[in-house]
């Protein structure tokens, strides 16, 4: 099971914002860890969710890892916003304006 199947980011997985303090991240981690602990939770994916929550906390509690994660996250968001002309939906785009060429050129 991958992170994308549940939440988009580690922040969303823990239920905090990207501007959350270390205390807020720690508190959210403890709450989620208790909720999804395999000995307590009866969900079929509790073990994998618990591992994801631990990975998210391990990344976000360390300032260096958190900064690297934020940079990668911003890069991924930027890449999704840039229009890639090789995409199928862009190839079939209808250009509504007539192109007029100048013969005197």
CATH at 22: 1.10.287.110
Q: How far is CA 61 from CA 16, 26, 75, 76, in A?
A: 13, 8, 21, 21
Is 105 part of any domain?
A: no
Is 94 part of any domain?
A: no
Number of domains the chain contains: 1
pTM of this prediction?
0.67
57-78: average pLDDT: 90
| Domain carrying residue 40 | 1-65
18-33: average pLDDT: 95
Is 70 part of any domain?
A: no
Question: Sign of dihedral through CA atoms 26, 69, 64, 54?
Answer: positive
Is 76 part of any domain?
A: no
- Identify the weakest region by mean pLDDT among 4-8, 40-44, 47-51: 4-8
Q: Write out pLDDT tens, residues 76-91.
A: 777 766 655 555 555 4
Res 103 pLDDT > 70: no
């Amino acid at each position: 099971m991958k992170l994308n199947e549940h939440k988009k980011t580690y922040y969303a997985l823990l239920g905090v914002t990207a501007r959350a303090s270390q205390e807020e991240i720690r508190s959210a981690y403890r709450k989620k860890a208790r909720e999804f602990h395999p000995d307590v939770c009866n969900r079929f994916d509790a073990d994998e969710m618990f591992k994801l929550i631990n990975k998210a906390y391990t990344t976000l509690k360390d300032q260096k890892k958190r900064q690297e994660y934020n940079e990668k996250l911003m890069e991924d968001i930027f890449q999704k916003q840039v229009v890639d002309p090789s995409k199928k939906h862009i190839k079939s785009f209808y250009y509504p304006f007539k192109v007029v060429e100048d013969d005197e050129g």
